Every structure is written in structure tokens, then in C-alpha cells.
């Protein structure tokens, strides 16, 4: 069964908008686990506009499920943060500084040598490494030669095309999933997956290990409540 990881960046955004510690990010993370989340990803950015670097230390101390730190490893501070906390998984994302949200995967051909080096460093510390990629054969093939344990498919294109034709929208992701499996890569996915498009995606993608969902899930929780919403998402993966 595909695991549901609940990204709590948006909770941190809400907290930061007023200062203080309301909502309490650590309590929310623990409640997400209690309500059924099987992992907690966070994506600290250099401007700390949502997840703060101290949050990572606070969460690492209490998370009982899989802890996943996402970010750009070209930032020295990010690398230091990962080594200091040793999460179960680090997901490498090629975000530029100040970027609103992740909007593309790695060019795993252009950055092959760099990725090999940094992936090897993280793995030597016992950290599983996933890299964010678009569903393109050449990028997945090059991802495999970096030594990464997994790839995370960037699913914005699927989500944006789903309602106009889900069969066409899913096709490149099915092909990408098959290729990843053939090459021995574990398969994660994330970005704009929601209650409307998640079930079909999970049913069609072979070997899908984990989905990371934040914005849509937290938005749904405003209407349905956090516990109920997590259960609703888990049912989409059943």
C-alpha cells in the first residue's frame, strides 16, 4: 500500500503569520501521526518563510513515523541541517532561492556529477535519498546513475490536466513508473495531488511507495477537520 506523508509547511505558514506558536507545529505533526499519517515531510527554505530550521530539530526529536527533509542541497545550511538531524529520507529539490513553490525536477544529466557526490554523502550517513524529477525517460535514466535510492515524480502536470483527460494525463507517469521500477529506483510522488485525482493516480502507477501531500490536504482540513481529512486521503490510497 502507498504511504501517505503529510507535509506541514502550510501549518508553519499560518503560525508565522502572527508570530508566537499558534498553531503548535510539533503538536500538529504528532496529531497527524496519531490520525494515520505515515510520514512527515518538511521543506525548510533559506528565508524560513514557513518551516524554520529550529522546527526541524524540534520535529526530529518527536517524530515516530518517517521524517523527510526536502530542499536544495546546493545550500550549505541545508546540508548541515540534514546531517545534524539524519532523517529517514532526504528529498533533493532544485528550488531557486525565493521560489514560491517547487515547479520542476532536476536536470539529472546536467547535474549528474554533483548529484552523485551529494547523494553519496547523505547515504554514507545512513539517509535514504530521493530526487525530484519530471516524468521524462532521459531524466529518470540519469537519476538511476546518480545512485539515488528513489525518485519523486513531480505531479503538477498530471493534476492540471486530470479533469480534461485523465487517461492522457496519467500516461507519462505510468511510463515513468515502469521505467523507474526497471532501473531499480523506488518511486514517490507529489505536488497538487488531492482528493479528486489521488485515487486514480495511485491505482495506475506501478510500485508507488509514497505520496507527499501538503497544500491540498491542509486546505481540505479547513472544511473537514484534520483527522477526518487524513482518513479521507488514506482511503484514496487503499
**Residue 52, all three cell numbers:** 524554520
Angle 232-233-238 (CA atoms, 0-180°, nearest 5)?
95
Cell 545550511 belongs to 77
Instruction: State the number of CA atoms in the 13 A half-sphere of 74 facing the CB.
Output: 9
Q: Give the C-alpha separation, 187 to 190, whole Å.
A: 11
Cell 514560491 belongs to 100
Q: Give the C-alpha separation, 233 to 6, whole Å.
A: 10
Q: Active-site residues: which are they?
A: 43, 70, 191
CB 71 within 8 A of CB 37: no
CB 32 within 8 A of CB 230: yes
Amino acid at each position: 500500500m502507498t504511504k501517505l506523508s503529510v507535509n506541514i509547511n502550510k501549518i508553519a505558514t499560518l503560525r508565522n503569520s502572527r508570530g508566537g506558536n499558534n498553531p503548535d507545529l510539533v503538536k500538529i505533526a504528532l496529531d497527524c501521526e496519531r490520525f494515520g499519517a505515515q510520514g512527515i515531510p518538511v521543506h525548510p527554505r533559506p528565508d524560513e518563510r514557513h518551516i524554520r530550521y529550529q522546527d526541524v530539530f524540534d520535529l526530529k526529536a518527536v517524530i515516530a513515523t518517517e521524517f523527510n527533509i526536502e530542499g536544495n542541497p546546493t545550500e550549505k545550511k541545508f546540508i548541515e541541517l540534514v546531517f545534524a538531524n539524519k532523517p529517514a529520507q532526504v528529498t533533493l529539490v532544485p528550488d531557486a532561492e525565493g521560489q514560491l513553490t517547487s515547479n520542476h525536477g532536476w536536470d539529472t544529466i546536467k547535474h549528474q556529477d554533483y548529484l552523485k557526490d551529494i547523494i553519496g554523502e547523505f547515504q554514507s550517513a545512513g539517509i535514504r535519498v530521493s530526487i525530484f524529477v519530471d516524468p521524462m525517460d532521459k531524466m529518470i535514466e540519469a537519476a538511476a546513475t546518480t545512485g539515488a535510492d528513489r525518485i519523486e515524480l513531480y505531479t503538477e502536470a498530471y493534476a492540471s490536466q486530470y479533469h480534461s483527460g485523465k487517461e492522457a494525463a496519467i500516461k507519462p507517469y505510468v511510463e515513468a513508473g515502469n521505467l523507474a521500477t526497471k532501473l531499480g529506483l523506488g518511486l514517490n510522488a507529489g505536488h497538487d495531488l488531492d482528493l479528486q485525482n489521488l485515487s486514480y493516480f495511485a491505482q495506475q502507477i506501478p510500485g508507488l511507495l509514497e505520496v507527499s501531500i501538503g497544500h491540498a490536504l491542509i486546505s481540505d482540513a479547513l472544511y473537514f477537520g484534520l483527522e477526518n481529512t487524513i482518513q479521507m486521503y488514506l482511503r484514496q490510497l487503499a
